């Protein structure tokens, strides 16, 4: 049996010649018959030849014997190797023709081009918190910021930099260069908005962010704020990130608590150390996961945060700080377990498991958090506050009858087993609870 090879030779007239007499070419098919590509992508087409004996082979290029054509080159072009390039959204018919001594054989395929999927811009600030000494002047808020995007520039997009938290005495400043658009600096709300223009390349936006300044004068309260960055690309894409800044006193401590290998082995010892400092406001105590239920004052393991000026703005951060236990719960790891907190100062308690205990502020009942007069501006967030005791007067959060704290925030916690999750006595006023 004589075999006809489609990849055979051409004659002197550059025609495709088949050797042998046992079969002849009957048809060609463009493959794939239908295809989809996004703008900027390529799609390879080939010609599949079918012979009279039912066998098939892929035609290969021999001089000018294979020709390709796109009937709508505004949508896609195709070269003579069958490689199509998507230009703009739409549909085009691709024709492949094989010329042989027997004649010309053609087939068509349909290529649909879709718009490229817009990618969200990526904004990354810094995983670490910014520790800022109150009254120390302007410092870079995002020195390690990075910005990437699939567009050459983000013209018609918007860059917004804002602050969440007490903005008294706090200022965000926009740099004069690089010029990436029209800057609106709202000093009242501490928000910088930039209407981006053609000069707003990812690299220039990154340089702009790295030069944004943060400062807090001596009227600012101690404690945490959140700096937020949102970037839109003008094509429907959005990227965002945030960074926490702690406004602290000149002698603030940023310490760790763990059974071993840390600054302190108990939470109460760390609190007492901060209280012993002069100008230790805004200190941060980070506690690893583990059982700290005998960690406070006395056998009940109550952690006492006293009315000491140097404890103002204290941040107590458990192993799950930043991970919601309530609304839209996150994936929590091993917990930092304590019994209760007795609070007589402005603090943030974030990311603990709180079982409940009898504080000296309200003896006879179990509480998770007992708040006294000076607990104004306290934030209780991201805690699992589950009670397994049997006292009928148990309260997850309790303000003392004679106390008058204000501006208390209770958010993203999980309360279970208490007579009441929050029992706010006195004239506390409105309390944000989420």
Full residue range of the structural domain in which residue 100 is found: 25-114
Question: For residue 169, what is the domain's CATH number?
Answer: 2.60.40
Is 18 within a domain? no
Identify whether residues 168 and 186 lie together within a single domain.
Answer: yes
Separation of alpha carbons 428 and 421, rounded Å:
16
Closest CA to 244 of 225, 228, 217: 225
Is 10 within a domain? no
Question: For residue 76, what is the domain's CATH number?
Answer: 2.60.40.1080
Determine the 3-state secondary structure of 153 from DSSP. coil
Residue 13 scores a pLDDT above 60: no
Residue 330 scores a pLDDT above 80: yes
Identify whether residues 193 and 264 lie together within a single domain.
Answer: no
Residue 7 scores a pLDDT above 60: no
> Which tens digits make up the pLDDT trace of 129-185?
899 999 999 999 999 999 999 889 999 999 999 998 889 999 999 999 999 999 999
- Element (H or E) spanning 160, and its range? strand 158-164
Is 372 within a domain? yes
Q: What is the mean pLDDT of the chain?
A: 88
Whether the CB-CB separation of 56 and 49 falls below 8 Å is answered with yes
**How many other C-beta atoms lie within 10 A of the C-beta of residue 55?**
12
Identify whether residues 368 and 265 lie together within a single domain.
Answer: yes
- Among 226, 248, 270, the domain boundary falls at 248
* Cα three-residue angle 225-227-232, rounded to 5 degrees: 155
- Among 228, 248, 268, the domain boundary falls at 248
Binned at pLDDT 50, 70 and 90, residue 101 comes out as: confident
Residue 110 scores a pLDDT above 60: yes
What is the reported pLDDT for 373? 82
User: Per-residue pLDDT averaged across 105-119, rounded?
Assistant: 93
**Residue 89 DSSP symbol:** S
- Distance set, CA 392 to CA 122, 158, 364, 388 (Å): 51, 54, 10, 11
Identify whether residues 384 and 314 lie together within a single domain.
Answer: yes
Residue 19 scores a pLDDT above 50: no
Binned at pLDDT 50, 70 and 90, residue 327 comes out as: confident
What is the reported pLDDT for 138? 97
What is the reported pLDDT for 25? 87
Give how many domains the chain has, as a whole number.
3
What is the reported pLDDT for 92? 98
Is 99 within a domain? yes
Is the whole model's pTM more than 0.75, yes or no? no
What is the reported pLDDT for 431? 56
> Which tens digits make up the pLDDT trace of 270-310?
999 999 989 999 999 999 999 999 866 544 678 999 999 88
Is 7 within a domain? no
Is 430 within a domain? no
């Amino acid at each position: 049996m004589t075999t006809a090879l489609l990849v055979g030779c051409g004659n002197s007239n550059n025609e495709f010649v088949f050797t042998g007499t046992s079969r002849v070419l009957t048809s060609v098919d463009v493959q794939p018959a239908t295809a989809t590509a996004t703008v900027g992508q390529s799609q390879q087409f080939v010609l599949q030849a079918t012979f009279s004996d039912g066998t098939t082979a892929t035609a290969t290029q021999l001089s000018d014997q294979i020709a390709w054509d796109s009937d709508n080159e505004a949508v896609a072009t195709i070269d003579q190797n069958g490689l199509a390039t998507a230009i703009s959204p739409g549909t085009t018919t691709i024709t492949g023709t094989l010329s042989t001594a027997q004649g010309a054989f053609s087939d068509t395929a349909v290529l649909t081009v879709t718009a490229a999927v817009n990618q969200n811009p990526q904004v990354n600030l810094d995983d670490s918190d910014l520790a800022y000494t109150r009254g120390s002047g302007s410092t870079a808020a995002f020195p390690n910021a990075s910005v990437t995007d699939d567009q050459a520039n983000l013209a018609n997009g918007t860059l917004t930099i804002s602050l969440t938290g007490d903005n008294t005495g706090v200022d965000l400043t926009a740099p004069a260069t690089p010029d990436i658009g029209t800057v609106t600096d709202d000093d009242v709300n501490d928000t910088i908005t930039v209407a981006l223009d053609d000069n707003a390349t990812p690299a220039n936006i990154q340089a702009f962010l790295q030069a944004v300044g943060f400062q807090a004068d001596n009227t600012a309260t101690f404690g945490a704020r959140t700096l937020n960055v949102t970037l839109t690309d003008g094509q429907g894409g959005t990227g965002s990130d945030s960074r926490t800044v702690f406004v602290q006193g000149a002698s603030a401590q940023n310490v760790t608590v763990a059974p071993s290998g840390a600054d302190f082995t108990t939470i109460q010892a760390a609190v007492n150390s901060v209280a012993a400092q002069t100008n230790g406001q805004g200190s941060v105590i980070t506690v690893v996961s583990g059982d700290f239920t005998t960690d406070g004052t006395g056998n009940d393991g109550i952690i006492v945060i006293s009315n000491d000026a140097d404890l103002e703005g204290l941040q107590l951060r458990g192993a799950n700080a930043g991970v919601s236990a309530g609304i839209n719960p996150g994936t929590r790891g091993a917990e930092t377990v304590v019994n209760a907190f007795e609070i007589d100062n402005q603090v943030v308690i974030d990311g603990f498991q709180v079982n409940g205990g009898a504080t000296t502020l309200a003896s006879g009942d179990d509480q998770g958090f007992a708040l006294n007069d000076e607990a104004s501006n306290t934030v209780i967030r991201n805690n699992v506050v589950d009670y397994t005791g049997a006292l009928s007067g148990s309260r997850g959060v309790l303000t003392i009858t004679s106390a008058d704290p204000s501006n208390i925030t209770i958010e993203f916690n999980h309360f279970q087993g208490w007579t009441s999750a929050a029992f706010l006595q006195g004239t506390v006023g409105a309390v944000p609870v989420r």
